[in-house]
Structure 1
Amino acid sequence: MNVAKNTKLDDLIPSKLQALSPQLRKAARFVVDNPGDIATRSQRQIAEIAKLPAPTFTRLAHAIGYDNYGDMRETCLAEVMNTRTVLAEKAQVLVDGDLYGANFATKHAMAVIQNTKLLIANLDMNKLEAAAKLLSDAKKVALIGVMSGRPVVDYAMYMANMSLTGWTVLGRDGDGLASSLTSLGKDSACIIFSIEPYAKRALDIADLVMANDVPLIALTDNRLSPAAKNACLSFYIDATSPQFFPSHAAATVFFEILIGMVIQIRGKEAQERIAAIEQQNHNFGEYWQD
């Protein structure tokens, strides 16, 4: 078997999955979204649920490096044993159920809380530390977020600029995208935030960034997300919500954690910048005083 039996689904490289045929991509999406079903149901049952021919899943296993379907199934079983599916099922119960007659506000709040718990439970701390180190070492950091992702990255940039220099949001109104891209290189870093439905403009900007050999970090909602296609580090959030719109709360928490870790790495330099900016805000009368 070319894939180790203790491999996690997170370790299946998104770029490899992106190269699959449409039918195999559909099967791959089912596998990564439903490891519990793969682990507990027969291949024939899986085929019926996914509405795909049973051999498709065997071909998928071979395409991503397994010797057979059974080996891929073992990976899914490991996911179940590591509680990922259990957490997801709890989140679904909270969102879909009517616990104690909870109204919409309560159900929404519970979903947001569970999304945050899932974020923390599934975070690979080694990858997170690597991302923080990459951003700390970068001379410039570019953020990509379009449509609903824009306010999230705007907040991240505002928070970062209080303590760090060289952070910017690409493609903002009034800012020259070409000049911003020209200033980025191998010593820079970029973060893209995009969840389904994925904004084409965000993906196009990410492609331009990658053409400049800029390391890309992706925050998205699915291992098959086009935002993670060429990322050197990818992180996944659950945006589940009883609202018609996906929740961005977990994404906000992620950026707060990541930028906080970067500030810790930068140490006194970051602290001194925060103090200087805060003093200037006082000097300019930006803060209300009684």
Structure 2
Amino acid sequence: MNDSPGARLQRLFEGHRLTPTQRRIAHCMVRSPADAPFLSSVELAELAGVSQPSVTRFAVALGFDGYPALRRALREMAPSDGAAAGAAEEAGGNEYQQAVLAEIENLRRLAAALADPAPVAEAGRLLAASRPLPVLGLRAAAAQAYGFAYFAAKVHPDIRLLHEGGTMLQDRIDAAARAGASALLCFALPRHPREVVDALRQARAAGLTVVTVADSAFAPVAGLSDLLLPAAVGTGLAFDTACAPMLLGRVLLEAMCDVLPEAQARLEEFDARAAERGLFVE
């Protein structure tokens, strides 16, 4: 089991019904697990962009008498100073190297989560059965949605990429539902566009099962997702890095292929046509 500080925090929050504001606080703490045990309620409120009473209510929602009790529990969970210092020394390097090492840790956390393959297998079954299959990703998540849709189209008969917002987005979701879609795959990464939240509400209203790849189990789209698969993003550079969400998308593709009986035949047909057209430089 992954026992990183972020993973321990996430396990603490799992199983609790949290409001959107409380999920925002939890997400903030998971992204800064080393600092979380030492923040005052005022500091945590400022960091998460919420009010100080919201932090108190968050602690009570987790079953603590108040925020001081939660902070004591977090300090008991934190590694010793010696262990923390050793980890920092091991990381070393310049800021670019540290960003890469942090992303490797995100991949380790993803690998640990995949020790239980049942959620991904269930997601693969839902996505494979949807004809058509709309794939949603806006702004920072557009590249993840595009990459998934590009490969998925080689094995799935009807992939509909939704990577642009605007007034037509909900029309396209409704059109997919009318055409027989039963599920929608969403990639949701920070900063989370309001349009994604609205689109998922529309998808649920249209009767679609929403499968979401998000940066955290406490992302703003969590409450609108029937099945949420978290994969952390890196925050060490000016712009977030999303290696783990990308890899999780490929894992979902593999799970889809496992339940699509025609997947291998479609791939072989594509390879044959590509060879005939001289599509790729060998």
How would you bin the TM-score normalised by the shorter chain?
A: 0.7 to 0.9
Amino acid aligned to 1:281:
A
For the residues of structure 1 that align with 2:85 and 2:199, how far apart are their CA atoms?
34
Q: Is the aligned partner of 1:282 residue 2:254?
A: no
Residue in 1 that maps onto 2:202: 208
Residue in 2 that maps onto 1:11: 15
Q: Is the 8 A contact 2:125 2:256 kept in 1?
A: yes
Partner-residue secondary structure (3-state), 1:157 = helix
Normalising by structure 1, we get a TM-score of 0.71
Amino acid aligned to 1:110:
L
Amino acid aligned to 1:158:
Y
Q: Is the 8 A contact 1:147 1:199 kept in 2?
A: yes
Q: Is the 8 A contact 1:46 1:54 kept in 2?
A: no
For residue 244 of structure 1, report the CA deviation from its aligned partner.
Answer: 0.8
For residue 230 of structure 1, report the CA deviation from its aligned partner.
Answer: 0.9
Residue in 2 that maps onto 1:113: 104
Residue by residue over 1:10-37, the C-alpha shift from the partner in whole angstroms, topping out at 9 and shown as x without a partner, is: 3335xx422xxx5x56655566667888
Q: Is the 8 A contact 1:142 1:190 kept in 2?
A: yes
For residue 215 of structure 1, report the CA deviation from its aligned partner.
Answer: 0.8
For the residues of structure 2 that align with 1:248 and 1:218, how far apart are their CA atoms?
15
Q: Is the aligned partner of 1:265 residue 2:259?
A: yes
**2:230 pairs with 220, 223, 236, which one?**
236
Structure 1 residues 120 and 17, CA gap change in structure 2 (3 angstroms): farther
Normalising by structure 2, we get a TM-score of 0.73
For the residues of structure 2 that align with 1:200 and 1:230, how far apart are their CA atoms?
13
Q: Is the aligned partner of 1:134 residue 2:138?
A: no
Amino acid aligned to 2:154:
M
Residue in 2 that maps onto 1:3: none
Unaligned 5+ residue runs, structure 1?
1-6
Residue by residue over 1:87-132, the C-alpha shift from the partner in whole angstroms, topping out at 9 and shown as x without a partner, is: xxx99997xx575862444333222211111112234532222211
Aligned length: 258
Residue by residue over 1:243-283, the C-alpha shift from the partner in whole angstroms, topping out at 9 and shown as x without a partner, is: 2111111111001111101101224x110011111111111
Residue by residue over 1:167-192, the C-alpha shift from the partner in whole angstroms, topping out at 9 and shown as x without a partner, is: 2211549xx64245322267521121
Partner-residue secondary structure (3-state), 2:118 = helix
Residue by residue over 1:214-240, the C-alpha shift from the partner in whole angstroms, topping out at 9 and shown as x without a partner, is: 111122223332222210011222212
Identity %: 18
Residue in 2 that maps onto 1:220: 214
Q: Is the 8 A contact 2:44 2:55 kept in 1?
A: no
Q: Is the 8 A contact 1:218 1:233 kept in 2?
A: yes
